[in-house]
Amino acid sequence: MIAGNIYGVVLNDRPQLAQMADGFAIPPYRTPPQAPVLYIKTRNCLAPGGGDVPLDADLAHVEIAPTLGLLFGCAATKVSRANAPACVAGACLALDISEPEASYYRPTVRQRCRDRFLPFGNLHAFDSGILKASIGTSINGVDLHAWSPERLARDAATLIADISSFMTLAAGDLLLIGLPHDAPRAGPGDRVQISCAGLSPLAVHFHRAGAA
């Protein structure tokens, strides 16, 4: 089970990096990112099995980024790319929900860490085949988005190796391996379903906080 820290990574989507290349050279960034750009989701975000997600009145809509969560079975500290996959025990679909934010300069705790802003599906034994699968998203029954972890600038093994060079990914930690820059948006009333071959699908229903 997810018993530890929940980490995610942004700016790991190759088309996004290409689009932002010029922007990385100017303030506030000045130089392209070197280390993986990580964030943390807090425990109040966890919504096992999906279900209802309340949106506070200040949110007209949210960004919904479908991704894979990798669950660590043993500690990864300074592991090589070759040894990284052996640290991953499980995997699940996850929907990383956030208030839309264009800037990557400051941490996005307020945007990303609202209650139930990380619905995730059943955990399965890790099979590297899912890293090539397509992750599809439908909203209210209409297929709106698909992407594959093959788009990642740092693939899962490289990501784990690079992160573990400066911090431990421990047994029980969950790593969200990247977000599509073109993630769709959803608002109150929307029903979202994400699916990926080899993993249990995940269904989420957004509603206005306070409303039934």
Partner 1 sequence: MKRARIAHKGAAVWALLVDNDSALRLGDGETISVAEAHWLPPITPGASIFALGLNYADHVKELGFKAKEPPLIFLKGANTLVGHQGATVRPDDANQMHPECELVAIIGKPARHVPAGKALDHVSGYTIACDYAIREYLENYYRPNLRVKNRDGATPLGPWIVDAADIPDPQNLRLRTLVNGQEVQDGSTRDMVLDVAGLIAYLSQTMTLSPGDMILTGTPQGVHFCAAGDEVICEIEGIGQLTNRLIAEPKA
In angstroms, the CA 167 to CA 202 distance is 30
Q: Which stretch binds partner 1 (CB under 8 A): 65-73, 86-94, 99-107, 127-135?
A: 99-107
Among 167, 189, 197, 198, binds partner 1 (CB under 8 A): 167
110: left (phi > 0), else alpha (psi -120 to 50), else beta?
A: alpha
Q: Does 5 bind partner 1 (CB under 8 A)?
A: yes
Q: Does 114 bind partner 1 (CB under 8 A)?
A: yes
Q: Does 166 bind partner 1 (CB under 8 A)?
A: yes
Q: How far is the CB of 3 from partner 1 (least distance, A)?
A: 8
**Other C-beta atoms lying within 10 Å of the C-beta of residue 178:** 28
- Convert residues 16-55 into a mask of x (bound to partner 1 by CB under 8 A) and - (unbound): ------------xxxx-xxx-xxxx-xxx-----------
Query: Which residues between 181 and 200 bind partner 1 (CB under 8 A)?
Result: none
How many residues contact partner 1, by CB under 8 A?
37
Q: Which of 114, 154 has the CB closer to partner 1? A: 114
Q: How far is the CB of 55 from partner 1 (least distance, A)?
A: 11
In angstroms, the CA 21 to CA 205 distance is 36
Give me the residue label for tokens 């209409």: 142
Q: For residue 168, with 0-12 CB atoms within 10 Å meaning exposed, 13-18 middle and 19 or more buried, which class applies?
A: middle
Q: Which of 33, 201 has the CB closer to partner 1? A: 33
Q: How far is the CB of 104 from partner 1 (least distance, A)?
A: 5
Among 74, 86, 170, 171, binds partner 1 (CB under 8 A): 170
Q: Does 145 bind partner 1 (CB under 8 A)?
A: no
Q: Which of 32, 198 has the CB closer to partner 1? A: 32
Positions that interact with partner 1 (CB under 8 A): 3-5, 7, 10-11, 28-31, 33-35, 37-40, 42-44, 56, 77, 104-110, 113-115, 166-168, 170, 173
